[in-house]
Amino acid sequence: MSNSSVEGLRQVRTEPRSHALALVIAALVGLALAWVHWLGLVAAGALVALVAPSLRRGLAYGIGFGLLVLVVFAFLLGDAAARVPAMTPIVYLTLASALGLPLLGSLVRGVI
């Protein structure tokens, strides 16, 4: 990584205003990627974790993004959301994917 990108990443991780803005942008880009393909959940977890000041916070951001995905999914279901608990086998896969894949992607924070 070049010095300018390292400096920019340090600024995003330490300054509250730029941190919040970068986190919102990463979450929006992540939602767009997840809308297109399920691997977008992994990429989104990596994006939100990269702006985290520590690995622990990066993992928490990954789980938080997964919860955001579940909320958006439930909102998009609309009236059909009441019937979702009856579909137990597939609901487990949905929950595990929404929480586990961004968490997997957020492990990139341990490398960078």
Tens digit of each residue's pLDDT (9 = 90 or more) over 86-107: 888 888 999 999 999 999 999 9
* Total-model pTM: 0.89
- Own/partner long-range contacts of 28-34 (Cβ < 8 Å, ≥24 apart): 30/65, 30/102, 31/68, 31/69, 31/72, 34/69
Supply 19's token pair: 């941190």
Helix (H, G, I), strand (E, B) or coil at 87: coil
Q: Give the residue-averaged pLDDT of 69-86.
A: 90
Separation in Å, CA 50 to CA 2, 33, 81 = 16, 16, 33
For the chain, domain boundaries: 3-110
Which tens digits make up the pLDDT trace of 7-49?
A: 888 899 999 999 999 999 999 999 999 999 999 999 999 999 9
